[in-house]
Amino acid sequence: MLLYLASGIVVPPLSPVLTPTDPEFEMIHHSLRGSPRAVRRTIQTLHQRRYAEPNDWSGPQPTGQAGEVIVVLRKRLRF
């Protein structure tokens, strides 16, 4: 199932390894919105902290505000 955001971003489906309904896992959705530079730096910081791979984020999409983009990450957290 694809997730379509109002900005036109399409979030790819999850890998089929585990289903989102698995009781040990829960889905979280992150979005970053800001200048391309700030968004890239935040993605790098989260990668350095081993939270998410840079390629796991959607590509930057314009928000309609000058100099602003949005990216999205869907992540499965284990409990």
For the entire predicted model, the pTM comes to: 0.69
Q: What is the pLDDT of residue 61?
A: 95
Q: Count of CB atoms within 10 A of residue 62's CB?
A: 13
75/56 Cα distance (integer angstroms) = 9
Q: What is the pLDDT of residue 79?
A: 77
Q: What is the pLDDT of residue 7?
A: 60
Output the tens digit of pLDDT for each of the chain's 79 residues: 455 565 666 666 655 555 556 678 888 999 999 999 999 999 999 999 999 999 999 999 999 999 999 999 999 888 7
- DSSP lists the bridge partners of residue 30 as 73
Tell me the domain boundaries of the chain: 32-79
What sections of the chain are H helices per DSSP?
36-48
SS3 of 9-54: CEECCCCCCCCCCCCCEEEEEEEEEECHHHHHHHHHHHHHCCCCCH
